């Protein structure tokens, strides 16, 4: 059954990282246009926390965006009326990023707290240092 353009325009869609990257980086004309059409015509765009973590990683590593540029991109997403995401987890990631850490580490720490974990363990010295929490424990590497 074919749906009308009106109906599609009101759909609630979830986007994968690659669609969001094409829309933001606009590095492949055809795919970027398709991503833009889908995103801009949707009623609601759902962006999972995992997609945001992947987005951060791809923009930083593959596209060489500076942390401030990525922060601005994520802030724009948060402020977009049609975007639905876990704002608290996203803010935790942005806070960690602002403190010189990794966006995903902030999300991981938030999720551990949300799950009421007694400890979050890591081999990542920088994460343990920046977290500012006694609940983040660095596992010694002997």
Cα separation of 38 and 31, whole Å? 11
pLDDT tens digit sequence for 54-70? 999 999 999 999 999 99
Q: What is the pLDDT of residues 35-44, one digit of tens each?
A: 999 999 999 9
Give phi and psi for 107, each to the nearest 5.
-65, -40
pTM value is 0.86
Residue 27 burial (CB < 10 Å; 0-12/13-18/19+)? Answer: exposed
CA-based nearest residue to 56, from 41, 42, 71:
71
Give domain limits for the chain.
Answer: 1-85, 101-142
When mean pLDDT is compared across 19-23, 51-55, 60-64, 97-101, the lowest value belongs to 97-101
**Which strands form 83-84's sheet, in the order they lie side by side?**
12-14, 44-46, 83-84
DSSP-based helix, strand, coil % in the chain, nearest 5: 60, 10, 30
């Amino acid at each position: 059954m074919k749906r009308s353009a009106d109906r599609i325009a009101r759909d609630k869609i979830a986007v994968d990282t690659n669609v969001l990257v094409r829309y933001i980086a606009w590095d492949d004309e055809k795919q970027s246009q398709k991503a833009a059409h889908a995103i801009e015509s949707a009623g609601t765009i759902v962006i999972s926390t995992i997609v945001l973590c992947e987005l951060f990683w791809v923009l930083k590593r593959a596209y060489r965006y500076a942390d401030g540029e990525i922060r601005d991109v994520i802030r724009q997403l948060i402020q977009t009326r049609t975007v639905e995401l876990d704002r608290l987890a996203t803010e935790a990631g942005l806070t960690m990023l602002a403190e010189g850490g990794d966006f995903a580490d902030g999300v991981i720490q938030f999720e551990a707290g949300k799950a009421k974990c007694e400890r979050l363990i890591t081999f990542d010295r920088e994460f343990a240092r920046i977290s500012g929490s006694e609940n983040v424990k660095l596992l010694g590497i002997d």
